[in-house]
Amino acid sequence: RAPGDKRPQHSDARLPQRPGNGPGRGLSELSLPCCADGGSLSGAKAPQVSGVRVQLEMHALWRQFDQLGTEMIVTKAGRRMFPTFQVQISGMDPAAEYVLLMDFLIVDDKRYRYAFHSSSWLVTGRADVVAPSRMHFHPDSPACGAQWMKQTVSFDTLKLTNNLLDDNGHMILNSMHRYQPRFHVVYVDPTPDSHANAHRNFCSFSFPETRFMAVTAYQNHRITQLKIASNPFEEPALFLVERCGLLHHGNESVGLTMEGNDADGVLAPASFLAVPSYWDCPGSPEERGTLSIGERTN
């Protein structure tokens, strides 16, 4: 990959096995095959997703954080990400309907601590038990391709928590563990045999510069400085709102079980579209994230 290339790594035809399944609790390192020209890697994909392209917004800012070692705050009440995960999408069928969603893969099987004397992260042992797997549905899902592509897609309602008993639909992460955000585009297939084709109806994207360490308080003071410089109102505002209990949480994430599988025994996002709980609780108007600029990749 050439320096400055901001195209995402591309997943194979099926999603990698989720952490928490089998020995070692999942992936030792997220390593997805890359397509040099940004094209689809699998000829078996449905035409509605095979040409999708995704471009990461605020790429330069993500790179700045990545060079320092990005940290994201997790709290019991849930904390929004900064930088916010935003993408622009292209290559969709304008008339077809799509669902957009995200999940987080644990990068390795290690737990870390920050060494202040050396300003570096050190391995302290094996990772904790992996938190329950969840996927976060973009609150505007489902929507037609034309809508997704006309403006930036922002996951600004997504929140991270370290509460294993969370019932607000937030993404559950373990503090002092490294995570890789992953973005999925799922074509809503209207045909009667859509379940049988679930593995063909989605594509996944991973931007290496968005990986981060989950923390309950910032460890690297340079990360703190960059967060304040990049968004000076984020930390004070969120702190006051959360302390005053003014946030109303909507259930925009769906807990996943590992019982539904595709033909190869790997859980696919398209398998979850029949879950009625999501469609019945889209969240309040204030919680529904707005689209800002859109584009897409595979």
Residue with token string 């709102």: 241
The DSSP symbol for 28 reads S
Structure tokens at 180: 């890789």
Name, in order, each residue with C-beta under 8 angstroms of 4's C-beta and a sequence gap of 6 or more.
Answer: none
| Confidence at residue 228, expressed as pLDDT on a 0 to 100 scale | 92
Question: Of 65, 141, 90, whose CA–CA distance to 293 is shortest?
Answer: 90
Q: How deeply is 246 buried, as exposed, middle or buried, from its count of CB atoms within 10 A (0-12, 13-18, 19+)?
A: exposed
* CA gyration radius, the chain: 18
| Confidence at residue 236, expressed as pLDDT on a 0 to 100 scale | 55
Per-residue pLDDT of the chain (298 residues; tens, 9 = 90+): 444 444 444 433 333 333 333 333 222 222 233 332 333 344 489 999 999 999 999 999 999 999 999 999 999 999 999 999 999 999 999 999 999 999 999 999 999 999 999 999 999 999 998 877 899 999 999 999 999 999 999 999 999 999 999 999 999 999 999 999 999 999 999 998 888 889 999 999 999 999 999 999 999 999 999 999 998 665 554 444 444 443 333 344 443 332 333 444 344 566 555 443 333 333 333 333 322 223 333 3
| Confidence at residue 271, expressed as pLDDT on a 0 to 100 scale | 54
| Confidence at residue 197, expressed as pLDDT on a 0 to 100 scale | 86
| Confidence at residue 233, expressed as pLDDT on a 0 to 100 scale | 61
| Confidence at residue 133, expressed as pLDDT on a 0 to 100 scale | 81
Three-state SS for the chain is CCCCCCCCEECCCCCCCCCCCCHHHCCCCCCCCCCCCCCCCCCCCCHHHHCCEEEECCHHHHHHHHHHCCEEECECCCEECCCCCEEEEECCCCCCEEEEEEEEEECCCEEEEEECCCCEEEEEEECCCCCCCEEEECCCCCEEHHHHHCCEEECCCCEEECCCCCCCCCEECCCCCEEEEEEEEEECCCCCCHHHHHHHCEEEEECHHHCEEEECCCCCHHHHHHHHHHCCCHHHHHHHHHHCCCCCCCCCEEECCCCCCCCCCCCCHHHHCCCHHHHCCCCCCCCCCCCCECCCCC
Residue with token string 């309040």: 284
Question: pTM for the complete prediction?
Answer: 0.69
| Confidence at residue 38, expressed as pLDDT on a 0 to 100 scale | 34
| Confidence at residue 270, expressed as pLDDT on a 0 to 100 scale | 60
Could you tell me the residue ranges of all domains in the chain? 46-256
- The pLDDT tens digits for 261-279 are 344 434 456 655 544 333 3
CATH class held by domain 46-256 = mainly beta
